[in-house]
């Protein structure tokens, strides 16, 4: 008779998602949980049309890491289970991307699993996360600060990743391992509550919660499932509001009137959805950025803008909120007298007389060009009293953001920086009083005068 200890919940999960069976790749660390999953797929799975392979990622962070890989390899060899090993520079990735070792290891591990599955023709990757892991994730997200998504815990499935053990607790897996004589290896750091935040939760916090209620993990799992249903419903509602957005390459535009119709509780999800439509992704978009976006659209001020992660700029124009990934500034281009030149967000025209909105330069033989603004270049302005300051410093003093600075037209006389729009003209290139000059007329394009829809 199949009992709870025989992991029937896992069988029901797999039968629902893969009723015809198929080739599945099992992520195996060598620990008790993953060895139970591999054994289950090699026994119950084979009887129900599943063909299993094992994938082990060696993080090379512990002295026993090679031992664990050899253990899994040998166990698979004894049962003719295809085995695939991988490894990566976890510490190097963590340092290069500013990630924790856990985050870097997870990224490399899942990249390896997905690539192996694709290369070897497996239709799904199965991991052994269980109810205890799910409870740890919910608690970690809660104490770090999270929204609804973080309280949904570990998803049972995501693209090709399936987690059939999420409805089971660690005690059930231990009983299964004992009943079938399944060996495993122990990560020596698992018993150290100071080694990782998860260890502290697993060893100290969750046991206390079980004292309050032995079914604490099961109830948390049930809550996570209910919250996932709520989150999916909100996702559908969010999608309806996002239909009002106009999507172009590198730009998403939505009328402020449509945003005003979004309920307050749903606005963060709609804003995150705009990032998805833009193709910029929502990683590193935190509460502070969402609050800044809401403050921006509540300001209703044209030409107001803020800089956001991933090179995204948000601005208001013509009663619309616009999110865009700005292309890199154009390269340097020569100005020819009387010939307007479109450069980035501006049109510049070199004139032999003064006009409105521009930069006057003293007459001279040098060719005049416009180009990107180098933050490290220096300008000596009348207000700096003979001392030069970097463009970066001058922009900071004027409250000009990095994204704005990089798009300001800089004027060069020959190879020398002569002026920067919104900052001024270097004293060496200023004309004398109202005398003769070369004038660079500068027009900034707006939604209204460029007639963009």
Contact at 8 Å (CB) between 314 and 308?
Answer: yes
Residues 416-452: b if buried by 16+ CB within 10 A, e if exposed: ebbbbbbbbbbeebbbeeeeebbbbbbbeeebeeeee
Considering only 144-153, 299-308, 418-427, which range has the smallest mean pLDDT? Answer: 299-308
CATH number where 200 lies: 3.40.50.620
- How far is 400 from 300, CA to CA, in rounded Å? 20
- Looking at every residue in the chain, the average pLDDT score rounds to 87
pLDDT at 303: 62
Same domain for 20 and 160, yes or no, is yes
232 domain-assigned: no
Same structural domain for residues 264 and 371? no
Q: Which structural domain, as residue segments, surrounds residue 372?
A: 333-450
**Assigned token pair, 171:** 């005690």
Helices assigned H by DSSP within 243-286: 256-260, 267-278
Closest CA to 255 of 234, 241, 276: 241
Residue 4 pLDDT > 60, yes or no?
no
Same domain for 168 and 294?
Answer: no
Query: pLDDT tens, 282-312?
Result: 777 888 888 888 888 777 666 677 888 777 8
- Looking at the structure, tell me whether residues 340 and 405 fall in a common domain: yes
* 196 and 294 assigned to the same domain: no
- Co-location of 365 and 387 in the same domain: yes
Report DSSP state, residue 255: E
Write down which residue in 309, 325, 341 finishes a domain: 325
- Give the C-alpha separation, 372 to 350, whole Å: 17
Of 337, 328, 339, 400, nearest to 371 by C-alpha is 328
- Among 124-128, 207-211, 391-395, name the most confident range: 124-128
Pairing of strands 378-379, 368-371: unpaired
Q: Mean per-residue pLDDT for 109-115?
A: 95
Across residues 403-407, what is the average pLDDT? 76
* Planar angle of CA 350, 353, 354, nearest 5 degrees: 95
pLDDT of residue 160: 94
The answer to whether residue 438 sits within a structural domain is yes
> Which of 257, 261, 220, 215 has its CA nearest to residue 237?
261
**d(C-alpha 262, C-alpha 255), whole Å:** 12
- pLDDT confidence of residue 448: 42
Domain boundary among 325, 353, 383: 325
Q: 3-state class of 24 per DSSP?
A: strand
Q: Do 315 and 343 lie in a common domain?
A: no
User: 167-181, 375-389, 411-425 — which is least confidently predicted?
Assistant: 375-389
**Helix-strand-coil split of the chain, %, nearest 5:** 45, 20, 35
In a shared domain, residues 41 and 164: yes
pTM of the model: 0.64
Number of domains into which the chain is organized: 3
* More confident of the two residues 300 and 333: 333
Token pair listed for 59? 């993080």
Instruction: Report pLDDT digits (tens) over 30-39.
Output: 999 999 999 9
User: In whole angstroms, what is the distance from residue 94 CA to residue 97 CA?
Assistant: 5
77 and 194 both lie in a single domain: yes
314 and 417 inside one domain? no
Please write the tens of the pLDDT for every residue from 343-366.
888 899 999 888 888 899 999 888
Q: How far apart are CA 5 and CA 148, in angstroms?
A: 32
Is the pLDDT confidence value at 1 over 50?
no
């Amino acid at each position: 008779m199949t009992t709870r200890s025989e992991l029937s919940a896992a069988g029901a999960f797999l039968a629902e998602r893969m009723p015809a069976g198929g080739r599945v790749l099992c992520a195996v660390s060598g620990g008790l949980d993953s060895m139970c999953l591999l054994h289950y797929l090699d026994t119950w799975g084979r009887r129900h049309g599943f063909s299993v392979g094992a994938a082990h990622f060696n993080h090379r962070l512990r002295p026993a890491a090679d031992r664990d890989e050899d253990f899994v390899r040998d166990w698979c060899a004894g049962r003719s289970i295809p085995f695939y090993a991988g490894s990566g520079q976890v510490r190097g990735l963590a340092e290069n991307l500013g990630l924790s070792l856990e985050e870097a290891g997870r990224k490399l591990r899942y990249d390896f699993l997905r690539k192996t599955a694709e290369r070897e023709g497996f239709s799904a990757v199965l991991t052994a996360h269980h109810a205890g892991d799910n409870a740890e994730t919910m608690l970690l997200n809660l104490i770090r600060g999270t929204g609804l998504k973080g309280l949904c815990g570990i998803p049972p499935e995501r693209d090709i990743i399936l987690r059939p053990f999420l409805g089971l607790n660690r005690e059930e897996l231990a009983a299964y391992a004992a009943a079938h004589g399944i060996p495993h290896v122990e990560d020596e750091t698992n018993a150290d509550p100071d080694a990782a935040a998860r260890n502290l939760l697993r060893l100290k916090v969750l046991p206390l919660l079980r004292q309050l209620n032995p079914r604490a993990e099961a109830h948390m799992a049930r809550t996570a499932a209910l919250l996932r249903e709520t989150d999916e419903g909100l996702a559908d509602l969010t999608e309806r509001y996002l239909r009002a957005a106009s999507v172009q390459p590198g730009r998403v535009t939505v009328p402020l009137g449509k945003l005003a119709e979004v309920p307050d509780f749903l606005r963060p999800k709609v804003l995150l959805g705009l990032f998805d439509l833009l193709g910029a992704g929502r990683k590193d978009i935190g509460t502070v950025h969402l609050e800044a976006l809401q403050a921006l659209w509540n300001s209703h001020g044209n030409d107001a803008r803020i800089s956001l992660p991933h090179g995204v700029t948000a601005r208001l124009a013509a009663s619309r909120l616009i999110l865009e990934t700005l292309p890199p500034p154009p390269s340097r281009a020569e100005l020819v007298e009387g010939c307007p030149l479109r450069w980035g967000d501006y049109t510049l025209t070199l004139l032999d007389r003064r006009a409105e909105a521009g930069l006057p330069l003293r007459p001279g033989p040098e060719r005049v060009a416009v180009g990107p603004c180098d933050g490290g270049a220096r300008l000596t302005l009348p207000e700096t009293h003979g001392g030069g300051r970097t463009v970066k410093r001058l922009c900071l003093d004027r409250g000009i953001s990095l994204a704005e600075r990089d798009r300001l037209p800089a004027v060069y006389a020959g190879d020398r920086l002569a002026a920067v729009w919104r900052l001024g003209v270097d004293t060496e290139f200023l004309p004398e009083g109202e005398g003769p000059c070369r004038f660079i007329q500068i027009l900034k394009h707006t939604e209204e005068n460029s007639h963009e829809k």
